[in-house]
Structure 1
Amino acid sequence: MSNLQDIVVKEMKVKPTIESKDEVRQIIQFIKHYVQSHSFIASLTLGISGGQDSTLAGKLCQLAVDELKSEGNDCKFIAVKLPYGQQKDAAEVEDALAFIKPDEVVTVNIKPAVDQSIQSLYDAGIELTDFQKGNEKARERMKVQYSIASNKQGIVVGTDHSAENITGFFTKHGDGAADIAPLFGLNKRQGKQLLIYLEAPKHLYEKVPTADLEDDKPQLPDEEALGVTYAHIDDYLEGKSVPSEAKAIIEKHYIKNAHKRELAYTRYTWPKN
């Protein structure tokens, strides 16, 4: 491994291999411990997109909540459908929900709020690009989740994992915002491995990953947007050698998007010369 790869692998906490049973148990215990350590938590809220990451996080949350309830802790899992108008993969969202079996499902169409926000900015002389409009969608979805969590005395669960975190492939203060991120430490293939172990429908973990935020590039695959495959990202995170071109792209993403992995600086935390 290169020196930078050593640093990244250590930071991202990805193991070369995982045992599915042990990993599932550790994540469930983490979720339970967090809830038990905060007396105000009565719910976990998570947006379900029908993709691999939210399906896995949702199932693990529901399993954790089921155990908490059996132990006398009054907690529930709230799955949130957040379409922008008519969602193209709405059927897969329903399949994911059928697999997760959440305690409660809430549906909020974000289109009116997003469109009004974009129009208000335009009226103020700020015309957003299609990419920036996509970020509006991601941030509106997270705003809705926090509103629900506040109303239901709960927290928001994030789907960020290490293959996403290393590339910064998330919207800052959008899908990158959450109270807990139980999938961190997993890469993409390990998330798939856990869904197979949990007996998820195959088409959900085989689904082509897409953020699906841009109107002029609907269903744009993550790998196309990133310029590198998840297989190479996963290999990199497992400490394996990857082609030089892929390595360069991964490390460029890691360096460029470092700010997304940091909390807001204050005058007391900003590095001084």
Structure 2
Amino acid sequence: MDREQAAILEELGVASEFDAAAESERRVSFLVEYLKAASLRTLILGISGGVDSLTAGLLSQRAAERLQREGLQASFIAVRLPYGEQADEADAQRCLSVIRPDRTVNIDIRPAADAMIAEISAEAADLLSGSRFHFHLGNIKARQRMIAQFALAGASAGLVVGTDHAAEALMGFYTKFGDGAADVLPLAGLNKRRVRSLATHLGAPADLVFKVPTADLESDAPLKPDEEVYGVTYDEIDDFLEGREVAQSSRARILAAYRASAHKRELPATPR
């Protein structure tokens, strides 16, 4: 592992060792103590049907239950945020049945997302049209989902839980101020392999744990696998994040994505 790779692992908070039981306890405790310190009582998380939100949901529900056992008013609200009819809705429902949240809220973001893209197109269709139209709509979807979650958090004295982890942070694979916006990130510092290990430890079924990851944002390519977008596999990304060597071509792709997405990992730029 060279100096640049080591610096990236340090920046993203990737530990050299991993124990699923210890990490489960540490991350549940983090949610418990952060909610207490903020004098709030609710955790809010969008459940998509993938392993990331499943894992974050299991951690959140355990945190809420621990606070309840302490006699505190606390709850976990899971939010379904489909754009119309979701292709893998059955998986999302199974995730909910595994998590067993205190409450589930269903919000269809399609009317809001379509209205926004229509309003923008009315004045600037030339900027949105073409092959990137569905990419831009996908980012609007992600931001509409966060609008809904923060509305619920504001109405319930809550915190919005995000699902970002080290593999996505490394590749910049999230929407700025969309799914990249949250109050707490209980999966931070974990690569995909470790997220899956944590999910397994928490009792998630294997078919959901090892489901092909997809952001499912672009309407013209539903359920497009993340790895097709990356051009590298999660195994290669995970190996890189564990300090191992990867093929030079894959390393080049990973580093290019990391450098290009630096602005996503920074606070808004200010004049110096």
Q: Is the structural similarity TM-score above 0.5? A: yes
**Paired residue type of 1:154:** G
Q: Distance in 2 between matches of 1:171 and 1:220?
A: 16
Q: Which residue of 1 aligns with 2:259?
A: 255
Q: Which residue of 1 aligns with 2:222?
A: 218
Secondary structure of 1:124's aligned partner: helix
The 5 A counterparts of 1:19-98 are: 19-39=19-39, 41-98=40-97
Residue 125 of structure 1 and its aligned partner are, at CA, apart by: 2.3
Q: Give the conservation status (yes or no) of the 8 Å contact 1:68–1:75.
A: yes
Query: Which deviations, in whole Å up to 9, do the C-alpha atoms of 1:136-186 show, x marking residues without a partner?
Result: 100101111011111111110000000000110000000000001010011
Residue 15 of structure 1 and its aligned partner are, at CA, apart by: 2.4
Residue 14 of structure 1 and its aligned partner are, at CA, apart by: 1.5
Give the total of aligned pairs.
267
Q: Does 1:207 align with 2:211?
A: yes
Residue 266 of structure 1 and its aligned partner are, at CA, apart by: 2.6
Q: Distance in 1 between matches of 2:41 and 2:22?
A: 26
Q: Distance in 2 between matches of 1:5 and 1:19?
A: 22
Residue 73 of structure 1 and its aligned partner are, at CA, apart by: 1.7
Residue 19 of structure 1 and its aligned partner are, at CA, apart by: 1.1
Q: Which residue of 1 aligns with 2:171?
A: 167
Q: Give the conservation status (yes or no) of the 8 Å contact 1:12–1:237.
A: no
The 5 A counterparts of 1:76-155 are: 76-126=75-125, 127-128=127-128, 129-155=133-159
**Paired residue type of 2:243:** G
Q: Which residue of 1 aligns with 2:18?
A: 18
Residue 16 of structure 1 and its aligned partner are, at CA, apart by: 3.5
**Paired residue type of 1:38:** A
Q: Which runs of 4+ in 1 moved over 4 A?
A: none
Q: Distance in 1 between matches of 2:124 and 2:235?
A: 42
Q: Which residue of 2 aligns with 1:176?
A: 180
Secondary structure of 1:79's aligned partner: strand
Query: Which deviations, in whole Å up to 9, do the C-alpha atoms of 1:252-273 show, x marking residues without a partner?
Result: 0110000000111233xx4xxx
Q: Give the conservation status (yes or no) of the 8 Å contact 1:69–1:75.
A: yes
Q: Which residue of 1 aligns with 2:241?
A: 237
Q: Give the conservation status (yes or no) of the 8 Å contact 1:167–1:254.
A: yes
Secondary structure of 1:122's aligned partner: helix
Residue 42 of structure 1 and its aligned partner are, at CA, apart by: 1.7
Q: Give the conservation status (yes or no) of the 8 Å contact 2:52–2:195.
A: yes
Q: Distance in 1 between matches of 2:245 and 2:72?
A: 46
Which runs of no fewer than 5 residues in structure 1 stay unpaired? Answer: none
TM-score, scaled relative to structure 1: 0.96
| Aligned CA-pair RMSD | 1.0
Identical-pair percentage:
46
**Paired residue type of 1:200:** A
